Structure 1
Amino acid sequence: MEVFSLGICCMAKKVQSAPFQAILAFAKEDFARLQLASEVQYELNVVVFPEDVVLNEPVQQWPLCDALIAFYSAGFPLRKAIQYYELRRPASLCDLYMQLALLDRNKTYEILEGAQVPLPRRIVVMRSHPDGHLPPEQENLNLHQQGDGQKNGDEQPPCIATSTLGKVFEQNGDWISFGEEKMCKPFVEKPVDAENHDVIVYYRGGGARLLFRKKKNQCSQLDPERVYVRTDTSYVYEPFLQGDGSMDVKVYGVLCVDTPGPYLYAEMRHSPTSHCEVHRLPNGREKRVETRLSVSERAFSIRLLEAFGQFVCGFDLLRCNNGSETYVIDVNGWSFVKDNDEYYRQCALSLAKRLEHEIACRVRSWGDHSTKPQCAP
């Protein structure tokens, strides 16, 4: 029996998580069952790349595999994983180049626009770092910072000099402008760096709400003294939209190779823009309620998944005006639903079918299955 190897390349904490382990276990069962109907049967071998190897060894020393699941989380060397992919060329279930784009909110929004996914209006203010140097994707701007962006009361607001594109950033406490674009409070300020989760909502008349990754039972904090926006790095500004019922929607999608298309699961939760505390169940999990996506929401969700090419992808929606409008407000990349066996089984079945599809593609390219080529040493 031939062996088909699935490589898992991510941080150890992710692959050891209960959701991932459950999905892998179900996927092995589903793969074995699907292979019973195949003329040529394969055994699935899951190869977990050791974290110390991924972090410290050259890609030439990484394990070999036929198909690869690799995804970014804090500390993961994404560019190194891309080098491995380019060296070995396994069937990649998660587009690694798109994962680079997901680290930049501006690039993410441009991809969403291209896929005709509804987004809030936005102003993107690109700035240099405090040392005066621009990140590679921002080299077309040359902005010079004046002020720390956090002055309050009667102090003068910070100002930004003209960029090479001829745009000037200004703010007066109730609005901001960048070139000819202007936005009045209330608005949301998000770092262009998607790994920076320090988001701030600014209210008209002064005051702000600081959003951050959950710390025990806290997800946001009011700051009544904050008036002016930050000027230390690049930010995206969007109008503050109040979600229906002060809720937002977390969507989890899984790409499938067969009909009826991607599997989508959605949950509502209390939005951190309206609640300081996390609402939890007796077991400690965040309180969430399953919700059904509308026809239009499902349609643009499918376009989103296909645009980013991730086998598993989570993203956030905001429903406004009694459900008449829905916007995508964030794309999270690889993320799982917790404590949901139905989701695990759907994800596992999709994974097994995807691997079977990759085998079929490989067999066609190999010609005779008995002469499966070996990866280069």
Structure 2
Amino acid sequence: MRIRIGVCVREKKQVFSSPMRHILQRLEAFGEFEVILEDPIESWPICDCLIAFYSSGYPLEKAEAYAALRKPFLVNELVQQHLLHDRRKVYERLELFGVPVPRYALVNRERPYQELEHFIEEEDFVEVDGNRFWKPFVEKPVDGDDHSIMIYYPSSAGGGMKELFRKVGNRSSEFHPEVRRVRREGSYIYEEFLPTGGTDVKVYTVGPAYAHAEARKSPVVDGVVMRNPDGKEVRYPVLLTPNEKQIAREVCIAFSQAVCGFDLLRCEGRSYVCDVNGWSFVKNSYKYYDDAACVLRKMFLEAKAPHLSSTIPPVLPWKVNEPVQPSEGLTRQGSGIIGTFGQSEELRCVIAVIRHGDRTPKQKVKLKVTEEKLLNLLLKYNGGRPRSETKLKSAVQLQDLLDATRALVPRASDSEAEDMEHAEKLRQVKAVLEEGGHFSGIYRKVQLKPLNWIKVTKSNGDGEEERPIEALMVLKYGGVLTHAGRKQAEELGRYFRNNMYPGEGTGLLRLHSTYRHDLKIYSSDEGRVQMSAAAFAKGLLDLEGQLTPILVSLVSKDSSMLDGLENASIEMEEAKVE
């Protein structure tokens, strides 16, 4: 007698989708199962095992009532599927099982546009119950069926917002440079943005002991969906680390969903789960269809015929007539391995040190300051160290400086030549800071360097402390990457793509996503350098759209790396002189 497997879903197209069809055909080929597809729910027969998963309009409560009455073996538990519709409950469940998630905070509103005392929004951050999230940060609706996810970018990178959504044609996101304030229509999750190097990892479990993973180009980068000649999104199989395999097991167990898909973010050597989708199958992978059918067969037999579960057919039924493939003498292209008959060399590393593109002239204003308002800013942003310099670059810091300068300029109008020169320089600082009407972009910065200090009695009267009484202010501006400079950087990136890996084309992204080639792009904190790096990345990876999302997603600022390159550059110059 065969085991009856009921498949109950909302739409027939889900049953007859390519992955489901392939897997059900393989299950039937074993000869041990009878697959029953029934619709509507009222006509469901008695089944030994039940495949039922939620989709829009699916009567989950009726499915639960049927399962309670007939007691079939459930591939995916029905009660737990309710959790997947609320991102708050998903994160809570993940944390309960020790699964790492991005740092996040909840903003719950009982009605649209409700003002909340514990929620603060400033130009470059939001704060929830004292938990501050600096831009870039991610904003997700708590409704798991709402896929409109926003990423907000800092003014130092140009500002703006990128909206992520379910694929429409060849797009999965859009950048809106004019949007700077977060939504207030409902309840949202705010979480830190994790730079992943331009790729997302999709993981698919079939039971707690099996997981298949694929990487795709992240929609955060440019929103253009890479498709193959058949119109399918391009994805590349990746190997999971032991830690990631344990994460897959815990996700499967936490939600009691044997067949489950979730999103994994790889960032700085660690992995985080940012979304759990429930029932999901891999597309266009015959190896996965074989594996899934075998794992499901074992699950069904252990539940309903345990005496048969240990028997494994010597040849899978649907492969009886397939020719056996030779196992030796094969070439794995690009792996550095040629069968067992020889060895080949493999390119292991490419390092490129690149100067920024064409720019506008750099400008500088220097002046010595003794005003208390300016000296207080030095202490405010250098941790209260009177002998240490500080650099003001963020929108908040520059706004503080502008406010102080505005208050000082009217007073600096003495008739003495020295005072007039000082007042004129303060006016110049004020004019530069006010340029553009807001602090967007990355082309202005101010250094405050202490020159003199004295000892004063502490405010609480307990001993003495040092206070600066004079500092050198250096305002640097200009040096903006020109249109020609961006074009130069992008064309250089395109040249690298087409010549660094002959025959690979856009395969650089494939190599990066699989960790066979770990692409890293570093930059200094200079605006022209950052934008040159982003334009280079755009050409290198064949991306589209504006540079701000590319800059935030792909370009890293690492002072230790840049110090090493600077030292190497000095040594090269010295060698030339010798």
Residue 7 of structure 1 corresponds to 6
**Larger helix proportion of the pair:** 2
Structure 1 CA distance for aligned equivalents of residues 189 and 212 of structure 2: 28
Measured after TM superposition, the shift of residue 362 of structure 1 is 11
Residue 46 of structure 1 corresponds to 35
Measured after TM superposition, the shift of residue 9 of structure 1 is 1.0
Measured after TM superposition, the shift of residue 129 of structure 1 is 4.2
Is 1:268 aligned to 2:215, yes or no?
A: yes
Q: Map 1:75-154; keep pairs closer than 5 Å.
A: 75-130=57-112, 145-146=113-114
Residue 290 of structure 2 corresponds to 345
Is 1:209 aligned to 2:162, yes or no?
A: yes
Structure 2 CA distance for aligned equivalents of residues 70 and 173 of structure 1: 46
Q: Output the amino acid matched with 1:194.
A: G
Measured after TM superposition, the shift of residue 93 of structure 1 is 1.3
Alignment deviations for residues 108-149 of structure 1 (CA, whole Å, 9 cap, x no partner): 11111111111110011112244xxxxxxxxxxxxxx34xxx
Regions of 4+ moved over 4 Å: none
Residue 318 of structure 1 corresponds to 265
More displaced, 206-215 or 281-290?
Answer: 281-290
Measured after TM superposition, the shift of residue 310 of structure 1 is 1.3
Alignment deviations for residues 211-249 of structure 1 (CA, whole Å, 9 cap, x no partner): 0000010000000111111111111111111103x1110
The secondary structure found in structure 2 opposite 1:79 is helix
Structure 1 CA distance for aligned equivalents of residues 307 and 15 of structure 2: 26
Q: Map 1:161-180; keep pairs closer than 5 Å.
A: 161-162=116-117, 168-180=118-130
Q: CA RMSD in A?
A: 1.8
The secondary structure found in structure 2 opposite 1:23 is helix
TM-score, structure 2 as length reference:
0.51
Structure 1 CA distance for aligned equivalents of residues 9 and 57 of structure 2: 10
Is 1:294 aligned to 2:268, yes or no?
A: no
After superposition, the Cα gap between the structure-2 partners of 1:49 and 1:129, relative to the gap in structure 1 and judged at 3 Å, is farther
| Number of aligned residue pairs | 304
Structure 1 CA distance for aligned equivalents of residues 228 and 307 of structure 2: 47
Alignment deviations for residues 90-123 of structure 1 (CA, whole Å, 9 cap, x no partner): 1111011111101111111111111111111001
Structure 1 CA distance for aligned equivalents of residues 210 and 84 of structure 2: 21
Alignment deviations for residues 274-306 of structure 1 (CA, whole Å, 9 cap, x no partner): 122101111211111111011111112111112
Is 1:240 aligned to 2:193, yes or no?
A: yes
More displaced, 10-19 or 209-218?
Answer: 10-19
Larger relative contact order, structure 1 or 2 (CA cutoff 8 Å, min sep 6)? 1
Structure 2 unaligned blocks of 5 or more: 309-578
Instruction: Tell which structure's C-alpha radius of gyration is larger.
Output: 2
Structure 2 CA distance for aligned equivalents of residues 27 and 111 of structure 1: 32
Q: Map 1:218-229; keep pairs closer than 5 Å.
A: 218-229=171-182
> 1:122·1:236 contact (CA, 8 Å) conserved in 2?
yes
Q: Output the amino acid matched with 1:25.
A: Q
Alignment deviations for residues 54-79 of structure 1 (CA, whole Å, 9 cap, x no partner): 3xx4xxx4332111111012221222
Measured after TM superposition, the shift of residue 23 of structure 1 is 0.1
After superposition, the Cα gap between the structure-2 partners of 1:63 and 1:4, relative to the gap in structure 1 and judged at 3 Å, is same
Structure 1 CA distance for aligned equivalents of residues 173 and 44 of structure 2: 41
Is 1:196 aligned to 2:146, yes or no?
A: yes
TM-score, structure 1 as length reference:
0.77
Q: Output the amino acid matched with 1:117.
A: V
Q: Output the amino acid matched with 2:134.
A: C
Structure 2 CA distance for aligned equivalents of residues 336 and 231 of structure 1: 35
Query: Could you tell me the percent identity over the aligned residues?
Result: 42
The secondary structure found in structure 1 opposite 2:305 is helix
> 1:28·1:352 contact (CA, 8 Å) conserved in 2?
no
The secondary structure found in structure 2 opposite 1:64 is coil
Alignment deviations for residues 134-180 of structure 1 (CA, whole Å, 9 cap, x no partner): xxxxxxxxxxx34xxxxxxxxxxxxx135xxxxx2221232212222
More displaced, 3-12 or 107-116?
Answer: 3-12
